[in-house]
Amino acid sequence: MATRIVRQALAGTGIELVASCGVDAYDAEAPAKLRSAELMPGARGVVVAASSGPRLWRRFREHMDADRARWAEPHPYDAFIAATLARADEALSRAGVHFSCFDAAFDAPIRLSFIALARLVGLGNPGPFVLAIHPTHGPWWALRGAWLVDVEVEPPLAHAPPCAGCPAPCVGGWDNAGGIARATPEVRARCVVGQDSRYDDDQIAYHYDRENAVRRFQNSPS
């Protein structure tokens, strides 16, 4: 089963939340140009992989600290994630699974709705500041890749939307809910779910003030 293949391939990488759904569920919500008939005729399911907490970031920092010149690359974190996701590509190929891979990188040529995919596979639901909220990791996680595959996949995970019934102290109540611009580190830190998975301070700095963070990483002592 493709879901298991991807999960095993990514074990220990930090991209270890893996779930899936049938292609019909995906097609029911995808725009016409992003449905499976357009992207991969014959697909039977979609597998989604995500990172949570700081593990992926810490692996990335070790990789970058081994060669500080890599910080000059335009999107080094995306490149590192793509190289990690390639492990799943290789595993699917070895198993004879036909697939199309999509990632959430800044410059991805085809950008699926990863927020919708998170909900469809049972990994998370949009919260009051748009980010998908995971039932264990809260807002401290991120979708990294998805694969349309021509074989069976596991059914979606069963979970209760973690924001159901919550008074939304993250944004001062649902009446004050807003868009992605509200997803500041302070707002994420007020979520009542998943604070044990909070990102490292340097990771937060990279996501919210990348230019200054990279400058510090380049000049920090070895």
Contacts (Cβ under 8 Å, ≥6 apart) of 91: 5, 6, 8, 9
Q: Helix/strand/coil (H, E, C) string of 152-198?
A: CCCCCCCCCCCCCCCCCCCCCCHHHCCCHHHCCHHHHHCCCCCHHHC
Look at the block and give the residue holding tokens 């069976």. Answer: 152
Q: Report the number of distinct structural domains present in the chain.
A: 1
Distance CA 86, CA 133 (A): 26
Residue range(s) defining the domain that contains residue 214: 2-219
Q: What is the pLDDT along the chain (222 residues), one digit of tens a residue?
A: 899 999 999 999 999 999 999 999 999 988 888 899 999 999 999 999 999 999 999 999 999 999 989 999 988 999 999 999 999 999 999 999 999 999 877 666 766 777 789 999 999 998 999 899 999 999 999 999 999 999 999 999 998 889 999 999 999 998 888 777 788 999 999 999 999 999 999 999 999 998 888 888 887 765
Residue 50: per-residue pLDDT: 97
Q: Any bridge partners for residue 143, and if so which?
A: 50
Q: Any bridge partners for residue 21, and if so which?
A: 46
Q: Are 99 and 147 in contact (CB under 8 A)?
A: yes
Q: Any bridge partners for residue 142, and if so which?
A: 51
Q: Any bridge partners for residue 50, and if so which?
A: 17, 143
Residue 130: per-residue pLDDT: 85
Fill in the DSSP letter of residue 43: -
Q: Helices 76-94 & 55-65, crossing angle to 10 degrees?
A: 110
Residue 222: per-residue pLDDT: 55
Residue 221: per-residue pLDDT: 64
- Number of Cβ within 10 Å of residue 83's Cβ equals 11
Look at the block and give the residue holding tokens 């995500």. Answer: 50
Residue 170: per-residue pLDDT: 94
- Backbone phi, psi, residue 93, to 5°: -60, -45
The CATH number covering residue 192 comes to 3.40.109
Dihedral of the alpha carbons of 36, 41, 47, 50, in degrees to the nearest 10: -60
Distance CA 78, CA 219 (A): 21
